[in-house]
Amino acid sequence: MKLSQLEVGETGIVKEFTDLEMSVKLMEMGCLPGEEVRISRIAPLGDPIAISVSGYQLSLRRFEASTIILQ
């Protein structure tokens, strides 16, 4: 399952990434395998989304979220 498939309020645990370039940027921001992520909100126009991860809020586009595979 991909992170982009979660609804607001749902949580998941990051398993792996499908895109090396994005994974490097996401991991730097504390979004890495084993971390719990939760969809906090979706932007008014449906994209980007905001997730809460390692204790703070991170915003990313749906495409970027689709490169994150959950357990």
Partner 1 sequence: MKADIRVALVGNPNTGKSTLFNILTGLNQKIGNFPGVTVDKKTGFCALPDGRTAEIIDLPGTYSIYPKSKDESIVFSVLADKSKGMVPDLVVVILDASNLKRNLLLYTQIADLKIPVVVALNMIDVSEKAGIKINIDLFAKKLGVPVVPISARKNTGIDKLKNAIAFANSVALQQDTIDIESIAPGIIAQIKGEMQVDNPYVALQLAHQHETLSYLSTTESDRIEQLEQEHSFHSQKAQATETIARYNFINDLLYDTVTKPEAAHDETISNKIDKILTHKVFGFVIFFAILLFIFQAIFSWSAYPMSLIEDLFIWLQAGAAKVLPAGPLSSLIIDGVLAGLSGVLVFIPQIAILFALISILEDTGYMSRVTFMMDKVMRKVGLNGKSVVPLIGGFACAVPSIMSTRTIENWKDRMITIMVTPLVACSARLPVYTLLIALVVPNRNVWWVFNLQGLALTAMYVLSIFSAIIVAFVMKFILKARERGYFIMELPVYRMPRWKNVIFTMYDRSKTFVLQAGKVIIAVSVILWVMKSYGPGDRFARIDKQYAQPQYTKTMTPDSLTKVIASEKLENSYAGVFGHVIEPVIKPLGFDWKIGIALISSFAAREVFVGTMATIYSVEGDADKLQSVQEKMHEAKNPQTGQPVFTLAVAFSLMMFYAFAMQCASTVAVVYRETKDWRWPAAQFAYMTALAYTASFIVYHWLK
CA 69 to chain centre: 9
Report the residue number, 6 or 60, with the smaller CB distance to partner 1: 60
CB of 12 to partner 1, least distance (A): 15
CB of 61 to partner 1, least distance (A): 5
- CA atoms of 41 and 33, how far apart (whole Å): 22
The token pair that represents 59 in the structure block: 């915003």
Q: Does 20 bind partner 1 (CB under 8 A)?
A: yes
SS (H, E, C) 29-61: CCCCCCCEEEEEEECCCCCCEEEEECCEEEEEC
Site for partner 1 in 31-70 (CB under 8 A): 32-33, 40-41, 43-48, 50, 54-61, 64
Q: Does 24 bind partner 1 (CB under 8 A)?
A: yes
